[in-house]
Amino acid sequence: MDADAYAVTGVRSFQAVLGTSRDGLSVVRPAAASTGDDGAGDADAPGGPSRLGAYGPASLDRASPVPLYFQIAQVVEAAIGSGAYRAGQLLDTELQLAERFGVSRPTVRQAIQQLVQQGLVVRRRGVGSLVVTQRIERPVALTSLYDDLAASGCAPTTKLLAMHETGADVEVATALGLEVCDPVQSVERLRFANGEPLAVMRNYLPVDLVPAQVVRRELAVRGLYELLREYGIVLHAADQVIGARKPTASEARLLGTSRSATLLTMARTAFDRTGRAVEHGRHAYLADQYAFKMRLVVS
């Protein structure tokens, strides 16, 4: 199950479409999930001039039953909507916002958390609070994510983390029709789009499928499915299971998130036209970066 096969992400109760479909992909506003940071990272984030214009203490109605944190969140949301903050830009730090509105940092922290829950802001440890970038919503299909990201201008890149021959565990052996401990090629990669980490991908291939040296060389610069096609392997079908969990310490470090974040997981086995299982994957995706899109019909 190559990350090239599917773009995945958490599904939220609503998604605001920000752009039109392009090469089968729709650009939508992401449902960012809090990384669980305590907010200290925001205080250390680079500041610079505030983009909140004339907003300040006078913008808040302290006699209103609406909590101050929610009023601040509305002000920042309006600033984002007006374009004062662009996707990928840092918000003012907690300290800056507290001074601007004349409130405490815990109140500002609640406001930022409100923006996180609305899908407008995401917290990055050691960086600060970022206005969310656009994410890709793709229909579930047996196609290449790598190729589609490239076609949509999202600049996919890959870091090969590890590759070695290993004995198949029970899951991999069952998926690939092998015996436990039969040799397989294990490949672990980190996939980026526009320089941002998206997914940790672990794939297992029969050792006789593609030469190991070719896999090692080519998967750093292109997708697995493209490589399989070059070797005459035509994918025909796949079995897939989707789930969710918290990241391991290693995954959190690689993806630049916290252990309290949510990852979507995908276990997938792909088959060629003869019915032979040609790859099995275990992937973990940042849930604030992708959305599943499926059409359900009455059979």
Express each pLDDT in 238-283 by its tens digit: 888 888 999 999 999 999 988 988 898 889 999 998 899 999 999 8
Please give the model's pTM, rounded to 2 decimal places.
0.58
Mean pLDDT of the chain: 77
> Does residue 167 share a domain with residue 125?
no
Q: How far is CA 91 from CA 86, 126, 139, in A?
A: 10, 14, 32
> Does residue 149 share a domain with residue 287?
yes
Instruction: Please tell me which of 21-30, 228-237, 288-297 the model is most confident about, judged by mean pLDDT.
Output: 228-237
In a domain? residue 34: no
End-of-domain residue from the set 111, 131, 151: 131
> Does residue 119 share a domain with residue 60?
yes
Domain count, the chain: 2
DSSP helix, strand, coil percent of the chain (3-state; round to 5): 25, 30, 45
Domain of residue 209: give its range.
Answer: 141-293
150-163 mean pLDDT: 83
pLDDT tens-digit readout, 14-69: 232 223 333 333 333 333 333 334 333 333 334 445 667 656 566 788 888 888 88
> Does residue 215 share a domain with residue 88?
no
End-of-domain residue from the set 131, 164, 182: 131
Q: Which has more confidence, 248 or 124?
A: 248
> Does residue 280 share a domain with residue 179?
yes
Q: What is the pLDDT of residue 34?
A: 37
In a domain? residue 237: yes
Q: How far is CA 167 from CA 181, 251, 286, in A?
A: 4, 23, 28
Query: In the structure encoding, which two tokens stand for residue 213, read together?
Result: 């040296």
Burial tier of 182 (Cβ tally within 10 Å: 0-12, 13-18, 19+): middle
- Find the CATH number of the domain harbouring 114: 1.10.10.10
What CA–CA distance (Å, rounded) separates 40 from 198?
Answer: 24
